[in-house]
Structure 1
């Protein structure tokens, strides 16, 4: 990692992706600042700040003297819209504004592949194609991307949105043969997003090199310099070849159906 990177903040570090990113970056940066509502224990070269990053005071304290922020905190699945607005949209705004005020150079935002989840499975999606969110969660992540673009355009903040695939140690369902993001590739994408030169604003798919993937990886290779190494195909024997998922339908599968979102519209 670039020795000039110095102080890196990870928000939501106790979540699903955070521990892997923390372990992957540990020892590669001058100071790793860990922010979460849950109690954490600092290791060597780490600083822990307990609090909710949607609180501007917590964010400003965490970002003081920081060179980069990896923003992982937020709601990670379908939920009532007000909850998504608070956790994902307002939370991201708070992070970007605190980064601007604190002089942070680069912010890496956890986006989602589901911002294009309503495209059919046989459509190969490029990052610059129109968004087709599969539900309320995806809409909130589309707003995250829009906020990142605005802060890059207006204030010169360097912003990378990683449209994360299905982060798992190993694929657990048929769809993951296309969407799996391995722990090794997850760390690789985050490291590249932190260190790539010439970044203004970039939104790229962060997914392993799966033979069946839906999403184009050339933007990540061109703009971040990272080429994923793992492929879910080596797990294909665990899943039936005639799974109905591959017969057509949206890339997000069940998550793109009306039935998946309807319960949250009543809340």
Structure 2
């Protein structure tokens, strides 16, 4: 039983979902973001922190048993936009966790780590990364950082390559990548309780059209209950019309700045 669990990125979309769904599950839920958050409720601590500030991040990690790391930029951006929150911030968080004796970190990685694979490829947790941009690369770096601190320092790492976590799918791609909020909670709870040292799993529901073999998550106890296929009639025709978006797993993250050979992907 973890006493104090920290959620970074608590003001973001998924951070707010976790705050609501995990409230009362632990004696103390510490919530952090560089943006303003709702005031603390019973059993909550609200700590505003910019993860690019190493000293502030060390203080943030003090007294914490487990971290749900959802802080950082969630969209493609320029190198400076991605570097600070997603790379420097991640370094500071894992180092702060090491110094504080944190037991485990559940990391919000992304499907964009493997976004340049074709949709005909079925990937598992051992797939070699093919990031579709700077954002995807930053998440691949986060997975490697998690591996370093797991194997060298013993901080358990559960890297979730999250697909599309929304209330409902909104286009055809999401019939393959969707993660319902209920299954999102189920996967996070596996990350907080399962026995592992370092693992990569996919953040998806049990979708009929999935791009990903998620047997590694099932092995650890994940049992998703939802399937995007129930929304197929509503979103089947919602495509971009751009082959880069429609034929590669990364979708709309692929076309910006693309200058490679599409036929070699």
Q: Same fold (TM over 0.5)?
A: yes
Quote how far apart the aligned CAs of 1:253 are.
Answer: 2.2
Partner Cα separation in structure 2 for residue 139 and residue 211 of structure 1: 28
Q: Is the 8 A contact 1:122 1:248 kept in 2?
A: no
CA distance in 2, matches of 1:8, 1:99: 12
CA apart distance, 1:242: 8.9
Partner in structure 2 of residue 221 of structure 1: 218
Contact kept in structure 2, 1:245 and 1:253, CA below 8 Å: no
Cα distance between partner residues in 2 of 1:113 and 1:175: 12
Alignment deviations for residues 138-159 of structure 1 (CA, whole Å, 9 cap, x no partner): 1111111110011111111111
Task: Write out per-residue CA displacement over residues 55-92 of structure 1, whole angstroms, 9 at most, x where no aligned residue.
Answer: 12222222211110111010111100122111101111
Q: Distance in 2 between matches of 1:59 and 1:179?
A: 32
Aligned to 2:57: 59
Q: Identify which of 16, 21, 29 aligns with 1:19.
A: 16
Q: Which whole-Å CA distance do the structure 2 matches of 1:82 and 1:39 have between them? A: 22
Alignment match, 1:194: 192
Q: CA 1:234–1:53 in structure 2 vs 1: closer, same or farther (change >3 Å)? A: same
Say if 1:165 and 1:240 are closer, same or farther in 2 by CA, change over 3 A: closer
Please, what TM-score do these two structures have when normalized by structure 2?
Answer: 0.92
Q: Give, in angstroms, the shift of residue 17 of structure 1.
A: 0.5
Partner of 2:185: helix, strand, or coil? helix
Q: Secondary structure of the residue that 1:5 maps to in structure 2?
A: coil
Q: Which residue of 1 aligns with 2:116?
A: 118
Contact 1:120 1:248 in 2 (8 A): no
Residues in 1 aligned to 2:203 and 2:246: alpha-carbon distance in whole angstroms = 23
Q: Distance in 2 between matches of 1:193 and 1:170?
A: 23
- Number of equivalences: 256
The answer to whether 1:139 aligns with 2:157 is: no
> d(CA) in 1 for partners of 2:237 and 2:75?
28
- Tell me by how many angstroms 1:166 deviates: 0.5
Cα 1:208–1:245 change in 2 (3 A) is farther
Distance 1:75 1:39 in 2: 16
| Partner in structure 2 of residue 37 of structure 1 | 34
Q: 1:235-255, CA deviations, whole angstroms, 9 ceiling, x for partnerless residues?
A: 111123595689962111232
The answer to whether the Cα contact below 8 Å between 1:136 and 1:261 also exists between their aligned partners in 2 is no
Whether the 8 Å CA contact 1:162–1:206 is kept in 2: the answer is: yes
Distance apart, 1:229 and its partner CA: 1.1
Equivalent position of 2:228 in the other structure = 232
- Write the distance in 1 (CA, Å) between the matches of 2:242 and 2:233: 16
Per-residue CA shift, 1:177-208, capped at 9, x if unaligned?
111111111111111101112x1111110111
Task: Give the whole-Å Cα distance in 2 for the aligned partners of 1:230 and 1:65.
Answer: 36
- Aligned-residue offset at 1:22: 0.9
The answer (yes or no) to whether the contact 1:107–1:159 under 8 Å persists in 2 is yes
Aligned partners of 1:35 and 1:53 also within 8 Å? no
Instruction: Specify the alignment match of 2:207 in structure 1.
Output: 210
**Taking structure 1 as the reference length, what is the TM-score of the superposition?**
0.91
Matched, 1:47 2:45: yes
